[in-house]
Structure 1
Amino acid sequence: MIVWLAELFSSHFSFLNVLTYLSVRTIMAALTALAFSLWVGPKLIRYLQTMQIGQVIRNDGPESHLSKAGTPTMGGIMILGAVTLSTLLWARLDNHYVWIILFTTLSFGAIGFMDDYLKVIRKHPDGLIARWKYFWQSVSALVIAFILYYTATTQAELTFVMPFFKEYMPYLGLLFIPLVYFTVVGSSNAVNLTDGLDGLAIMPTVMVAAAFALIAYLTSHVNYAHYLYIPYIPKASELVIICGTIVGAGLGFLWFNTYPAQVFMGDVGSLALGALLGVIAVLVRQEILLVIMGSIFVVETLSVILQVGSYKLRKQRIFRMAPIHHHYEKKGWPEPRVIVRFWIITIVMVLIGLVTLKVR
């Protein structure tokens, strides 16, 4: 919206041209999302406390978590609100990637909201029944996949990029649709499983989003794309703005979510943020990089799969508790130690992911 206004009045006020620059808009988008989160945060926390919308703690979890019972949850509303508002203000709204991002934010946010609502307000212990949650995630992901497939205008938008291989980028065709589906649904659930400690999920999300901001810029610049042997997708430029909003909103949320947390994001935040990372990875054609840079999300998910599979097949547990961050808590690690070490691992994996762009 602001870009349109700046272009409309730039003939009268030339200084408004600066608001059309991608770098300026990205910074302003991040700051807008950050300011919105810091402003709304205290008000939302007070409202959640007044309405007694507090986290339900499992009795079989780490004992240190029992003190968290009643901590306000559904704080992800703050993040999604900041991302949506900042995107509408600073992104070019004639780019259909922007509307796909907004659809992802709101659709997966709605699924998470319903899960949280049933869990903490209606007091259903399991929240939204798993098969219905997965059903609606699948519907949203398939809508995204089909839209992207039928609106693709270049072959580059439907290729599969392999790190370390500069010449091998096969055209996916209809296989693009299941790839999008599994990337978006898998990423959504992976971030959701990671969101079990104060700040554990949001900071890796911020780091990965910041890395994707750089990747989106390189992908949308013809010279950099050709130099790095990555698909050239000019429409990806607006994803830099989107990633900036995630960084700003995430840091604003972390202000209140850092240990000991004043508020939890709930499924309304984690499901949507995971889906956003998945969609952004798809749009810049870097699904493998999402796996590398978001390795913490992957490991958390694998720990649950292995734990459940082992118990069903052998009646034995591999970990003391899954997801794996609880395993380390059970081993006696203080919560802040688990969180910070997982952050450090994410930083390392993000750097490795970025290096793969050059090592080909």
Structure 2
Amino acid sequence: MLYNWLYPLHTEFSFLNVFRYQSFRIIYAAVTAFLIAFILAPWLIRKLQEIKLGQQIRNDGPKSHLAKSGTPTMGGLLILFAVVLSTLLWADITKPYVWLVLAAMVGFGAIGFADDYLKFIKRQSKGLSASQKFAAQVAIASAIAITLYFLPGYTTKLSVPFFKNFTPDLGWFYIVFAVLVIVGSSNAVNLTDGLDGLAIGPVMITALAYTIVAYVAGHRLMSDYLLIPHIENAGEIAVFTAAILGSSLGFLWFNTYPASVFMGDVGSLPLGAALGTVAVISKHELLLLLVGGVFVIEAVSVIFQVVSFKSRGKRIFLMAPIHHHFEMKGWEEPKVVVRLWIIAILLALLSLSTLKLR
């Protein structure tokens, strides 16, 4: 909104010309989101404590986690608020992509809120059923994918990392593919959110990587030079991913070990969906498998564990997702978190190299 309100005045006040530059707005979206999250977090934590909105810990997990029982959850509300407000302030809100990524964030946030509300406020231990949650996710993701499909100028061609001439056109199947990316990303982040600071670290790293990807994809000269699809106005979603980065930093201040607050489904589901939607809009869907490799590893570990146990009656890991496996082997929680962050950083660097290696 600041861009839409203030930039038109640059002819009278030349210093307002700075709002024209996406790089300026990207930086200040991150800073604004960080300040919102950092300043409001103590107030939110106190409110969550007052209503006794604490996390319930599984008895079959690592025994060290029992001390976390009662830690305030639903802190993802803070991330949601900071991202949405910062994006509205610094992005060009006349661009449809901005509203699509916000719709993903708010829509999946509503699903996560309903699930957390039933579990922690209504004391219904399972919250939303798996089928209810999945159906709601597919419905929102389908609405986003169909909107993209019919947007003028939007292509259904798939960009494949490391290949500059191999861009298969998925046609109408692209809608199904986009839904899989958004829903899969949402649930992968949700599965990763099991240790203090574990999920939010790779979220920040992925958000930073896609800030660069979206900015480059929206820049005609850069995208042409790097031989990647040019997406008109995609640079505006870099403002959104920067807001995710900033709000996540603010949240991490209080979520780092030992955590003062957990994000809950109201945080993990929308963050994953938002990153998936950004990957789809920027036409770097497959790159998400690499840059978000930690999320993929976590999700795959759960799938393998379930399939193995149901088919053979045996477990592959001591406990799934895989971060619990390492805990059960004796790794201390901070060590598991930091090592997975290191892997996330290396995967992000490798993913960014694909912009040039084609």
Q: TM-score, normalised by structure 1?
A: 0.98
Q: Provide the rounded CA distance (Å) in 1 between the counterparts of 2:202 and 2:26.
A: 19
Query: Displacement, 1:121?
Result: 1.2
Q: How does 1:277-292 map to 2 (within 5 A)?
A: 277-292=275-290
Could you tell me whether the CA contact under 8 Å between 1:167 and 1:229 is conserved in 2? no
| Counterpart for residue 132 of structure 2 | 132
User: Alpha-carbon deviations, 1:9-53, whole Å to 9, x = none?
Assistant: 222211111122111111110010000001110000000000000
Q: Which residue of 2 aligns with 1:260?
A: 258
**Which position in structure 1 is the counterpart of 2:77?**
77
RMSD in angstroms over aligned alpha carbons? 0.8
| Equivalent position to 1:320, from 318, 324, 331 | 318
The match for 1:336 is 334
Aligned residue for 1:16? 16
Choose the corresponding residue for 1:242, options 223, 240, 243: 240
Whether the 8 Å CA contact 1:152–1:158 is kept in 2: the answer is no
| AA partner of residue 217 (structure 2) | T
- Structure 1 counterpart of 2:143: 143
Contact 1:97 1:236 in 2 (8 A): yes
- For 1:100, the equivalent position in structure 2 comes to 100
By how many angstroms is 1:221 displaced? 1.3
Deviation at 1:175, TM superposition (A): 1.4
What is the CA deviation profile of residues 218-253 of structure 1, one whole-angstrom value per residue up to 9, with x for unaligned ones? Answer: 111112212212111122010110111001000000
- Taking the aligned partners of 1:267 and 1:345, their CA distance within structure 2 comes to 24
2:268 matched residue in structure 1: 270
Partner of 1:47: 47
Q: What amino acid maps onto 1:64 in structure 2?
A: S
Q: 2:59 is matched with which residue?
A: 59
Whether 1:123 and 2:123 are equivalent positions in the alignment is: yes
5+ unaligned residues in a row in structure 1: which ranges?
Answer: none
Percent identity, please: 53
1:346 matched to 2:314? The reply is no
Aligned to 2:113: 113
Which consecutive segments of 4 or more residues in structure 1 shift more than 2 A? none
Shift of 1:357: 1.3
Aligned to 2:305: 307
Higher mean C-alpha displacement, 226-235 vs 99-108 = 226-235
Partner-residue secondary structure (3-state), 1:41? helix
Matched-pair contact (CA < 8 Å) for 1:6–1:20: no
**Higher alpha-carbon deviation: 339-348 or 169-178:** 169-178
Separation in structure 1 between the aligned mates of residue 71 and residue 181 of structure 2, nearest angstrom: 31
The alignment status of 1:233 with 2:231, answered yes or no, reads yes
Q: TM-score, normalised by structure 2?
A: 0.99
Aligned counterparts of 1:330 and 1:214: Cα–Cα separation in 2 = 37
Secondary structure of the 1:264 match is coil
Partner of 1:296: 294
CA displacement, residues 72-121 of structure 1 (integer Å, 9 cap, x when unaligned): 00000000000000011000011000110111111100000011111111
User: Partner residue of 2:161?
Assistant: 163
1:243-277 deviations in Å (ceiling 9; x for gaps): 11001000000000000000000000000000000
Deviations 1:45-70 (A, max 9, x none): 00000000000111111101000000
Identify unmatched segments of 5+ residues in structure 2.
none
CA–CA distance in 2 between the matches of 1:54 and 1:199?
A: 17
CA distance in structure 2 between the partners assigned to 1:105 and 1:124 by the alignment: 25
Residue aligning to 1:214: 212
Q: Distance in 1 between matches of 2:217 and 2:11?
A: 31
SS state at 2:53 partner: coil
